[in-house]
Structure 1
Amino acid sequence: MNKEGHTALHIATAASHTHFVEQLLNKIPDEENTSGYLNIKTYTSVRPDDEGNAATGNTAFFYAAASGNVKIAQIMLEKNKDLAMIEGRGNVLPIHIAALLGRGKMVRYLYKETKYELQATQIEDLIAFLVALINADIYKQYFISVYMSRRGKAEFLATLISSYPDLVLKVDENKYTIFHIAVKHRHVEIFKLIYEIGSMTDVINVYRDGNGNNMLHLAGMLAPASQLNVVPGAALQLQRELLWFEEVKKVVSLREMEEKNKKGDTPRDVLLKQHKGLMQQGENWLRNTANSCMLVATLIATVVFTAAFTVPGGNGQDNGIPILLNQICFKIFAISDAISLIFSASSVLCFLSLLASRYSIEDFHFKLPTTLILDTFSFL
């Protein structure tokens, strides 16, 4: 070890002598690798005391990350998995220094190895890391992964955008901005941030992917299964998709609404084509639900209608008037029976109208779901 605290491992790693590093580590027992030699840091300006308090420099693994030598990093991590989360000088993580120096392959490798541990880092540190990725043009490969790993939290992204407004104009390999990604993956809270960026929305609307799709085309595409299954039933899922399409339509111009992609499809064409299967499932689901509920409503109507002519206690033989006519319980029975008859008969008619609907995609937007809810309410 020299006066700066550099060991042979530090020097060999900085020089990218992969074979020498491998041979050196193979000569050291595993228990020393994990607890000692690999964890040694260089000194800053002062040599450490007996307790090592001044040793706040860099580990050899930090040098491996900075050099971009993935092979050396792999060799070291096989000996000690904790090395990737040991901060170097300035409290910078190895993956951060790799991003700052534009070591794309190293960033990819370290992110794969530490993506769960990175979730526990402070939001300020994560933002600094993302900015380093963007500035080094590693953004295209990694911003989506890191951003999605935060589950699309709007407050996180809002903080990032407020610090670096140009971020909203950055695109990934598909030429998607963060708002295009939010539209495609149905991240509602992220998409709402578009109302806070003013005229930059017009710039974002100019972006097209490789197939000529604008933002509204993406809204017309079928949502991922994880987002569709948020609500039960194909009809309600289709309604949610239509509501999302209408919401995105508010931020695009008339030109984008009518624009065709490379396949010659407008956003509405994409919507109809990609939701054709879901629309058929929704129709089947509504018809089956209506048939089942109408059958039960018919049985209830039959029972209450029969009960109206078979009153409790019977009728008087002299005048045919119900014997319990003046009893409060009889009045309650008569009123309940009449209400049940009205509602059950109404339910039969309402479910019948549901079966007779034309089931166009516009009907799924409001008419059919609303009719189903009202029918179910009257049925209950």
Structure 2
Amino acid sequence: MGEENSRARHDMPLRRTRSKVYKSIASKKLVSLEFLCEYWNEEPAEPLDCEGNTLLHLLVISNSENALRKLMDDGDVSQAHLTKQNLRGETALHEAARHDPMCNCEECAEKGNLASVPNNLGETALFLAAACGKLDIFKLILKYGNDDCTTQRKDGCTVLHAAIMGEHYCIPHMYTLESVRKGDEEDSDRRWKAEILEKERNPFVNLLLSKVLIPLLEEIDDKKRKKFLAVALAKQLLEEEVDWSRYTYSSPKDQDQNKTPNKVHSNPLMRAIEMGIPELVEEILRYIPGAANSIDKDGRNVFHYAAEHRAGDIYEKLKVSVVNKDRMLSDVDYKGNTILHYATKIMLSSSTNLSIGIANLLTWEVFWFQRIRHDCPPHLFHMRNNDGCTAEDLLLKYYNNKREAVVKEVKEMNQGVMVVAALIATVSFAAVFTIPGGFDQNNGTPLYYKQKDHHYHELNQFFDAVWFTFFASVTSLGTLLTTQLSRFHWEDLYLVLPLRYLIALLTLFLSAGSIALTFHRALILMGYLTLKIFRALLIIFSISGLFYVDPTCYVFSYIVEVLRHSKPYKSVRT
């Protein structure tokens, strides 16, 4: 009992000392460096918190560079202390790899071989540096360690996987450069490619992007550089690819595809289609043309993937690159689904931009279905899958659930436009009976018609503008009225309703411009037109045109796409 009390009295000062050290690090108001060294020599590598972090861990996390350097120089820090791991299995070098200061990492790396020590997830310090995109720290750890970047995490990811998933493409290229420098001197082609990738951006371009031009352009330039590096990295990896069969299934559908040997790898081509990366698809097909014949365990080919994920650019590339496209477009997967069934899968998720409206979204979905339908043999439209549904059945099922929302949205939008069109038509109709100069009370002839001078011609132009305004506004009003009375069948969303909406907006804009011209002619007849008024009219009309472009451009681009892809199916005959 006496020994326990003595031990408790001895432990009390130690706990207070640990608390004092921890609070000073947390508040970034460190106690004296000598005190830290004395504490370390008394309790080396002892945990200071419930996560098992030692003094080394906490100094690295808090970026206390001077204290860490002092501890490394004057403290009794051994190899065993450096390899001390917290509850997550991480050493101080793991924490240093997550932070920017190079000195922290260098102090930990040069004292011992820690680069190959994994944490509980199997991640080394080199892995964390690559995942965080710390290129300088990555180089430093690679210099002191012997990790060859092929060490796998528990889920199978290597260091290069971590860098690529974090979009830090400079790290894989840097590692490739080191490999090239150590490799064959005669491999000039690969050396030349590596040197191109190693070049930094011109300092003058950096100055323009950061100082002279809008800083947003720098972000755009960085994305372009990332894209360039990603494609270049893909080319290097494709040059090393020797066996594409490990990415595709080829056994009959009655066998268990999950037991097919060497088919556990995700197909890069299908993954690129899912992610919507046409550049990567193009490079894969250029290096390995036969990859286009890949199928997954459900019997889906690349056209099925492109149809399901609405990859329009990739779909067009596949039609040009694939030799047997007619056969692949007619393929049926193991569940009886054709490419048309996949084209009806509505890709609405939590990340979908619903600000453009459900009607616009469904319009593009119907367009995509019709686009795929025009490329397919006619008999696919009537084929049923294993659930007994045709592609049209699936599309109707979803559309009927959303039809009420579509009708409500379109009619509410039309009502506002109809009010404007009716107002312009009313004003133009009234303008006919309130012309400048008035009428002759005896025969009702406009007074300016009796004067065979410039007023006669100006009045004719005034009437032309009024009649054109009335005709355009009535046309817009009538088109909108036919939309209000539409049946809203799903096929109407493909061309009829968008075309009516485009005509209504176009004629409404023309009527608005014509009524401005009418006002301009009236001012000329009355002699009130000045340069200031003319400029004001021009500014108002220009602003109105900008507001008009926003809704019209979207519909116009849709109509252009419909016309581009409206060709019926034509089989390739040999």
| CA 1:172–1:344: 2 relative to 1, 3 Å | same
Q: Which range moved further: 197-206 or 242-251?
A: 197-206
Indicate the residue corresponding to 2:368 in structure 1.
244
Indicate the residue corresponding to 2:472 in structure 1.
343
Alignment-mate amino acid for residue 137 of structure 1: K
Secondary structure of 1:324 counterpart: helix
Q: What does 1:3-22 correspond to in 2, within 5 Å?
A: none
Indicate the residue corresponding to 1:197 in structure 2.
322
By how many angstroms is 1:139 displaced? 2.9
Q: Which range moved further: 168-177 or 103-112?
A: 103-112
Q: What does 1:120-135 correspond to in 2, within 5 Å?
A: 120-121=229-230, 122=232, 123-128=234-239, 135=246
| CA 1:185–1:366: 2 relative to 1, 3 Å | same
Alignment-mate amino acid for residue 193 of structure 1: K
By how many angstroms is 1:265 displaced? 0.8
By how many angstroms is 1:187 displaced? 0.8
Indicate the residue corresponding to 1:152 in structure 2.
277
By how many angstroms is 1:38 displaced? 7.9
Q: Which of 123, 126, 139 is residue 74 of structure 1 equivalent to?
A: 123
Q: Which of 254, 259, 266 is residue 140 of structure 1 equivalent to?
A: 266
CA RMSD of aligned residues (A): 4.1
Structure 1 residue 206 and structure 2 residue 255: aligned? no
Indicate the residue corresponding to 2:399 in structure 1.
275
TM-score of the superposed pair, with normalisation by structure 1: 0.69
Secondary structure of 2:492 counterpart: coil
Indicate the residue corresponding to 1:181 in structure 2.
305
In structure 2, distance between residues paired with 1:312 and 1:370: 38
Alignment-mate amino acid for residue 117 of structure 1: H
Count how many residue pairs are aligned between Structure 1 and Structure 2. 324
**Which structure is richer in relative contact order (CA contacts within 8 A, separation 6 or more)?**
1
By how many angstroms is 1:147 displaced? 5.8
Contact (CA 8 Å) 1:216, 1:245: kept in 2 or not?
yes
By how many angstroms is 1:72 displaced? 7.5
In structure 2, distance between residues paired with 1:170 and 1:219: 19
Q: What does 1:214-293 correspond to in 2, within 5 Å?
A: 214-224=338-348, 229=353, 232-293=356-417
Secondary structure of 1:26 counterpart: coil
In structure 2, distance between residues paired with 1:242 and 1:140: 31
By how many angstroms is 1:111 displaced? 2.9
| CA 1:192–1:351: 2 relative to 1, 3 Å | same
| CA 1:349–1:364: 2 relative to 1, 3 Å | same
Alignment-mate amino acid for residue 406 of structure 2: G
| Uncovered stretches (5+) of structure 1, i.e. residues with no partner | 1-20, 41-59
Indicate the residue corresponding to 2:156 in structure 1.
106
| CA 1:368–1:324: 2 relative to 1, 3 Å | same
For each residue in 1:199-238, what CA deviation from the matched residue of structure 2 results, as whole angstroms up to 9, or x when unmatched? 25524643416x5322210101113459975994444433
In structure 2, distance between residues paired with 1:29 and 1:362: 64
Indicate the residue corresponding to 2:565 in structure 1.
none
Structure 1 residue 26 and structure 2 residue 84: aligned? yes
For each residue in 1:303-343, what CA deviation from the matched residue of structure 2 results, as whole angstroms up to 9, or x when unmatched? 22122112222223343322223413322222211111222
| CA 1:250–1:317: 2 relative to 1, 3 Å | closer
Contact (CA 8 Å) 1:169, 1:204: kept in 2 or not?
no
Greater Rg, structure 1 or structure 2? Answer: 2
Contact (CA 8 Å) 1:140, 1:171: kept in 2 or not?
no
For each residue in 1:9-50, what CA deviation from the matched residue of structure 2 results, as whole angstroms up to 9, or x when unmatched? xxxxxxxxxxxx99873399743476547889xxxxxxxxxx
Contact (CA 8 Å) 1:354, 1:368: kept in 2 or not?
yes
TM-score of the superposed pair, with normalisation by structure 2: 0.48
By how many angstroms is 1:364 displaced? 1.5
Secondary structure of 1:352 counterpart: helix
In structure 1, distance between residues paired with 2:387 and 2:443: 81
| CA 1:225–1:335: 2 relative to 1, 3 Å | farther
Indicate the residue corresponding to 1:94 in structure 2.
149
Indicate the residue corresponding to 2:504 in structure 1.
375
Contact (CA 8 Å) 2:269, 2:291: kept in 1 or not?
no
